[in-house]
Copies of this chain bind each other. A is one copy, B any other.
Amino acid sequence: MSMINAYAAGADERLSADERALIERRARVLGPSYRLFYEHPVHIVRGEGVWLYGPGGEAYLDVYNNVAVTGHCHPHVVAAIAKQAGILNTHTRYLNETVVAFAERLVGKLPAEVSQVMFTCTGSEANDLALRVARTHTGGAGVIVTETAYHGVTQAIAELSPSLGKGVPLGANVRTVPAPRSSGDVGKDFAEGVRAALADMERAGIKPAALLVDTVFSSDGVFCEPKGFLAEAVEAARAAGALFIADEVQAGYARLGEAFFGFQRHGLVPDLVTMGKPMGAGHPLAAVAGRPEVLEKFGRTSRYFNTFGGNPVSCAAGMAVLDVIEGESLMQNALKVGRAMRAEIGALGGAIKEVRGAGLFIGVEMADAESAASVVNGMRERRVLISATGPGANVLKIRPPLVFGMDHAGLFLDALRAELALL
């Protein structure tokens, strides 16, 4: 099992004695799946805005963490959590205004047809629930995903997350399609893959349930242009009876600058929308939104309850995050800063093959995994945090909190430029 940008135990001499001791305790008591980032792991004790701080007060510029969408420890979000935690934190089987008000506000961000929402605690749970709903509604079992897709870690969702590697076999009802490319007729080519997968399912007697895509194709290496290219594939899937599930766990929540959700850039109205990571800025909060006619049968036939999902504290966190995104115009900021960053990165040339993305979700394709790893680890030594992604591990993943300003972009570019010069 390999993980991009993982620390190899015992490999780095730059760690302090305290850090070595902490890593040893960690390895002893946490399960063996726990991995640290970077050749030289980063020890973090505090966060504020786009900055993370080490035990000696050293400041790291966070150009990676999409969860902290409002910036680390945003006072408005912290205050909302603290306040509601002191008032009430219980489940949704008592009447309470909070979950209804938050659901209404969230639905207001979605197309009119997608008018109902169910809360979970993680994106994995959201995708797992969406899959159950899609299979119940369609009566099918087949799911189409991209070749290096990541949708989560429950058993059912791990079976359709090929990026987890060969140690996690795909399900018998799963078919993969090539990720979008960045040249040629992107929409037609992607749809061609989907049509081939549907034909293959038909031949195998598998009734399709869903086309499930991360609308920014992050683990495939970040593909989101041209706007609208997804439409033809979605049309093909629907013609075969499958639903379109937009996985917005990474793409959604204002990050792409041009729209609140990634599917909106493609002019689509999904049957189900899943979301998670940034929703509570770190508080475990996720959701599935859907068309009522799609949710109907599941609601009628399958008892479902998520003990913590939609609790008042989670909803207060979710409300506060939306307050900040709207109040601080973070979508507009993502659009402006992201556009400037992509232009400046593209002008750096050198080992950079291609710059992709939208808003503050940027993928920078390098020649190979080695140069990407060199840049990622070199920038970490300059205290600028990014990572890498893609099937070849050669795409720099640049995805800062949305309060990332032009000044922060300048610091990031200085570090990137210096590392590129060393290649």
Interface residue A329 (Cβ < 8 Å from any Cβ of B): no
Interface residue A422 (Cβ < 8 Å from any Cβ of B): no
A117 to chain B, nearest CB (A): 7
| Docked pose: A29 CA to B52 CA in angstroms | 38
Interface residue A65 (Cβ < 8 Å from any Cβ of B): yes
Contacts of A123 in B (CB 8 A): 307
What secondary structure prevails in chain A residues at the interface with B?
Answer: mixed
Copies of this protein in the assembly total 2
A-B contact pairs, 14 of them (CB 8 A): A22-B95, A28-B115, A30-B92, A37-B94, A52-B90, A68-B90, A121-B308, A154-B156, A155-B156, A156-B156, A168-B303, A282-B313, A284-B308, A284-B311
Closest to A101 in B: B25
Our pick among B41, B43, B81, B288 for the contact of A82 (Cβ within 8 Å) is B81
Interface residue A406 (Cβ < 8 Å from any Cβ of B): no
Interface residue A103 (Cβ < 8 Å from any Cβ of B): yes
Determine whether the beta carbon of A43 is less than 8 Å from that of B299. Answer: no
Contacts of A43 in B (CB 8 A): 94-96
Contacts of A131 in B (CB 8 A): 155
Please list the residues of chain A having a beta carbon within 8 angstroms of any beta carbon in chain B. Answer: 1, 3, 19, 22-23, 25-26, 28-37, 41-47, 52, 65, 67-68, 72-73, 75, 77-78, 81-82, 85-97, 99-100, 103-104, 107, 115-118, 120-125, 128-129, 131-132, 153-156, 158, 164-165, 167-168, 276-277, 281-284, 288, 290, 292, 295-296, 298-311, 313-314
Quick one: given A88-B45, A95-B43, are A33 and B302 in contact (CB under 8 Å)?
yes
